[in-house]
Amino acid sequence: MPGVLVALGGNALERAGADASWASARRRLRAVVPVLAEVARGGEELVLTHGNGPQVGALLLQNELAAAEVPSRPLDVLGAETQGQVGYLIQSELTPALRRARVPRSVLTVISRTEVSARDPAFRRPTKPVGRFYSDAEARVHRKRFGWSMTFDGARGGWRRLVPSPRPVRWLEGPAVRRLLDSGLGSRWVPVVSGGGGIPVVRRANGVYEGVEAVIDKDLAAALVARQLGLATLAIVTDVPGAAVSFGRTGERWLRDVSRSELEALLRRGEFGEGSMRPKIEAGLEFLRDGGRRFIVTDIPSLPRALRGEAGTRVR
């Protein structure tokens, strides 16, 4: 089925170390939404996902500062809170942009749960750093009091909490959103779903889903959403206009039109950074292997041209 999922990074709203005010987030998103409106004007189904790293980090800090007065919330609840927060922001800014572009669609935020396996090895070996940096003394206290796994970042001189990052298995709200898009009203909506990878939940023996303290990779979750909805295109938006080999080194070469097999070979060769481009490439390849038709990596200004085959990295 035609349609495009655009995966927005958390930096579309807020950059680490920059002004983290709500006004700043609105200004940043206001520069993004005209591009999304242009994509929607093309007539295809448009679905949005987004990151939530900076937003969850802020809520974790608020939890710590207010712990003496207000009980702290678990990580899955903070994920739900950021889905509502960021979804509201996207609705507030994208709705008038659609109106200005004369696109008769409404923005709908769906608080989304992502099922993970309770047997996922990630629960035995947490690897995802979250929250602020701690001193040696603070790290010892948190390890003892809460049983946290922690890692030391020598470059920044502090300790960070590590949480599991299990693989996404199923997007629980997917069937309902697919029914909406298949209905006669489907062309009137732009769903915002699976923010931050979705709220991680596991299915217990009684069939009830329960939230867990984990973080799901947002790119893998975006690929899962696109597959479940049967969309043709997955477009992951990042800070650079595409993927490159020898990035930042002598011989740097930007990738334009590439085949899936070529991209797989470059991935095996270690061309993509572990904490930056690699997870995006892995998610895109997974999407293509499971029946997706087109995977794109680009930045926001280049997105409409990338969808027309004129910019970005395009994998067939």
Residues annotated as part of the active site: 10-11, 128, 218, 280
What 3 state SS string does 283-306 have? HHHHHHHCCCCEEEEECCCCHHHH
- Residue 142's DSSP bridge partners are none
What distance in Å separates the CA atoms of residue 58 and residue 87, rounded to the nearest whole number? 17
Nearest-10 crossing angle of helices 278-289, 218-229: 20
Q: Can you name the residues that pair with 203 across neighbouring β-strands? A: 209
C-alpha to C-alpha distance for 181 and 187, rounded to whole angstroms: 7
Structure tokens at 281: 């490439």
What contacts 145, CB < 8 A, 6 or more positions away? none
What's the chain's Rg over C-alpha atoms? 20
Tell how strand 106-110 and strand 128-134 pair up.
unpaired
The CA-to-CA distance between both ends of the chain, in Å, stands at 16
> Which DSSP category does 167 fall into?
P
Q: 28-52 in b/e burial notation, b at 16+ Cβ within 10 A?
A: bbeebbbbbbebbeeebbbbbbbbb
